[in-house]
Amino acid sequence: MATRSPAGTRAAALIGAALGAVAARAAYAAFRRRPPLGDEKTADEYWTRVNHRGEPVTLLEGPAFVAGTAAAVALTPGLPLRARAAALLAGAGSGVLGAYDDVTGTSSSKGFKGHLAALARGEVTSGAVKILGIGAAGLAAAALTPRPPSSPAVRAVDTLVDGALVAGAANLANLFDLRPGRAIKAGALAGAPLLAASLARPGGPRSRQTAALTGVTLGAAAALLPEDLGERAMLGDAGANALGALLGLAATARLGRTGRLVALGAVAALTAASEKVSFTKVIAGNPVLNRIDMLGRRPPLSPAGTARPSA
């Protein structure tokens, strides 16, 4: 049973982070020995991709993140049953749909707009299945999330806003997974204020839920970050979608209605901007963002193809 004390909120965050880290590392080691799809001869066909350097990396970091966070959510104290079910649905649901796109997707349609345009032409892409599926998972998770009593109309609006925030955050996190460690760093920058806010005013159920969910998510992400920065593995759609969905769900537990609307507006604006501008170019052109982006990474390649020191 969840405790209402401030110490209980801090314990939920710490235990969640520890369980997330241990479970994610254990899942990664297990999947490296025995991948979820394929045998020893065919696993590379499903789980190996070429990164921005033209080097092979494994996508198994993503399934490991999904499995690790799911296990940690199931075990971490401080979560009511409905909140626990919502987190499993948002994180694992988004992760499974992301893995489906990782394994079966093609590059014929790209981006949110591209997949919806293909769907309008009658072409059902794996990306469209993922987008619609994550939207449904986000709404279902929002409907399960415990909330104070309110009228049916208010509850319906809250569910729509929260579901859109969960699904939108899942998609946005995936847009950052284009360079080593970038999606995890973006998740940390988004999750740290949520965690700090929940610990600054501990004791209530919403604070405990936020602390537990954010702790699990950031703990699992931090445990897998060395593989990501070392360019041995990447989150892929599976891991990035789950990362964003869990942080989006944590935000719905922490923020009031105005805060959730502002967060949804920011997610929508960034998603729309990604259709017109390259996040990679924007980050590279900003000294502060570029320094954060390069922290812990190998030096970028020069035009001649050799490594050069970062700025």
C-alpha angle 255-260-261 in degrees, rounded to nearest 5: 150
The pLDDT score that the predictor gives to residue 3 is: 45
pLDDT by residue, tens only, the chain of 311 residues: 444 567 788 888 999 999 999 999 999 999 999 888 766 666 677 888 888 888 899 999 999 999 999 999 999 987 889 999 999 999 999 999 999 988 887 655 565 666 566 666 666 677 778 888 999 999 999 999 877 777 888 889 999 999 999 999 999 999 999 999 999 999 999 999 999 988 887 657 788 889 999 999 999 999 999 999 999 999 999 999 999 999 999 999 889 899 999 999 999 999 999 988 999 999 999 999 999 999 999 887 655 444 443 33
Closest CA to 172 of 105, 246, 121, 93: 246
The reply to whether 300 falls in a domain is: no
Closest CA to 77 of 23, 140, 137, 17: 17
Beta bridge partner(s), residue 281:
none
Helix 6-33 and helix 61-75: axis angle, to 10°? 140
The pLDDT score that the predictor gives to residue 308 is: 44
Q: Return left, alpha or beta for 290; rule: phi > 0 is left, psi -120 to 50 is alpha, else beta.
A: alpha
Answer yes or no: are the C-beta atoms of 244 and 190 closer than 8 Å.
Answer: no
pTM value is: 0.89
Distance of CA 260 to the CA centre of its chain: 18
Answer yes or no: are the C-beta atoms of 12 and 78 closer than 8 Å.
Answer: yes
The reply to whether 290 falls in a domain is: no
The reply to whether 285 falls in a domain is: no
The reply to whether 248 falls in a domain is: yes
Q: Structural domain tally of the chain?
A: 1
The reply to whether 282 falls in a domain is: no
Closest CA to 4 of 257, 209, 254: 209
Q: Which domain holds residue 161?
A: 6-276
Answer yes or no: are the C-beta atoms of 67 and 6 closer than 8 Å.
Answer: no
Closest CA to 6 of 201, 216, 213: 201
Q: How far apart, in whole angstroms, are the C-alpha atoms of residue 116 and residue 221? A: 30
The reply to whether 134 falls in a domain is: yes
The reply to whether 304 falls in a domain is: no
Answer yes or no: are the C-beta atoms of 190 and 247 closer than 8 Å.
Answer: yes
Distance of CA 210 to the CA centre of its chain: 15
Closest CA to 18 of 184, 218, 239, 254: 218
